Amino acid sequence: MAAAPALKPDPDIRERSYRIGCIGAGMIMAECHLAAYAHAGFQVAAIASRTRDHAEAVAKRWSIPRVHDTPEALIDDPDVEIIDLAFPPDQQPELIRKALSAPHVKAVLVQKPLALSLDEAIALRDEAIHAGKPVSINQNMRYDQSMRVLKQLIDAGVLGDIVFAEIDMHAIPHWQGFLAEYDRLTLSNMSVHHLDALRFLFGDPLEITSLTRKDPRTTFDHSDGIVVSTLKFPSDVMAVSVEDVWSGPRGDDDYQDDQHIAWRVDGTDGVAKGKIGWPTGVASTLTYASRTATKGKWETPHWETMWFPHAFAGVMEQLQYALSTGEPPVLSIADNVKTMALVEAAYRSIDEKRTVALSEFDLRGPSGASRP
């Protein structure tokens, strides 16, 4: 009989000795990274952004001792050991490469998507391996408290053999202005959270089928707005990921907001379900029932921490811990290339109107070219 494990919604902070240099001073850095780092007691040595005034305002707010005029100047700062990069994906590769070439920089943390193409992601992976420096990608949904507890329940066998899973997003993101210049939107910037979380829970899928339509609210041109993806895993788990960035009418009327991200996992012995705290600014939730562990009764563990910002501490901690032990980071660039391949497969599915097998992508070669 599977017993419920001792649930840990947040990871231990095992390492905090490395000096961090932050590149970027937008919302994700100012409201999430730096809030989490202050809470965890991490050392932030310097910050830079595209405009010094913006960086200075964030530095003052979080008591960061040094502001650099440019991201390049921050990377050259010999006091910085980890580069924490929060820049648009078309600008990340050049800065990653500069950081990899800086002798004093020991590791790099970057945003998702890692790059704008799978080929570029594979090239960056291989360059990081050649440089001998760990690069991590900020797939922070793996550190959402409900996702962590769900993974613990699955691994302990509390739900039995998993049959079906779904992540269902009906929420309106604030699209960053730079996305208007790209030809890809929702899969690369929203679905990437959910597709990576499904990989975290169930391993690498065999295939994906994706459909899309444009979002009538998004004013700039885009190829993928609302997206529905179905995945099949080697264990026979079927999963559905829905990203509805329309989420009902909005305007000057009295329409009552019901934005949410919900998830559910069904197994042969039980069910777990919950909601992600973003975009409502509350803690994520999880409730579960198991024939074996709870005798069929529903139980709801509670925690005070939230996905935004507290999950970002786990992301930076796992990179610092990897540096201190010499082990690969949990959120390694090599692992993230597989998430990038899954996103690429979803775009291919949309373009070619078919189910796409992940085996169509050869991730070992220097170019990551598709197999015939």
Question: What counts of helices (H) and strands (E) characterise the chain?
Answer: 11, 15
Q: Beta strands of the chain (E only): which ranges?
A: 19-23, 43-48, 66-67, 82-85, 107-110, 135-137, 162-170, 207-213, 226-232, 238-244, 260-267, 270-276, 285-290, 298-299, 356-357
What's the fold here for domain 19-140+313-332? Rossmann fold (3.40.50)
Cα radius of gyration rounded to whole Å, the chain: 20
pTM: 0.96
pLDDT at 367: 44
What is the distance between the alpha carbons of residues 290 and 62, in angstroms, rounded to a whole number? Answer: 44
pLDDT at 5: 86
Q: Using the predicted structure, report yes or no on whether residue 229 has a pLDDT greater than 60.
A: yes
pLDDT at 370: 37
Mean pLDDT of 28-46: 98
Closest CA to 142 of 331, 325, 269, 270: 331
pLDDT at 371: 30
Average pLDDT value over all residues in the chain: 95
pLDDT at 1: 66
CB of 197 within 8 A of CB of 146? no
Summarize pLDDT for 242-279 with one digit per residue, the tens.
Answer: 999 999 988 767 888 899 999 999 999 999 999 999 88
**Tokens 């790099």 label which residue?**
108
Greatest alpha-carbon span in the chain? 60
Q: Where are the domains of the chain?
A: 19-140+313-332, 142-304
Domain 142-304 of CATH type 3.30.360.10: yes
The encoded tokens of residue 99 equal 């950081």
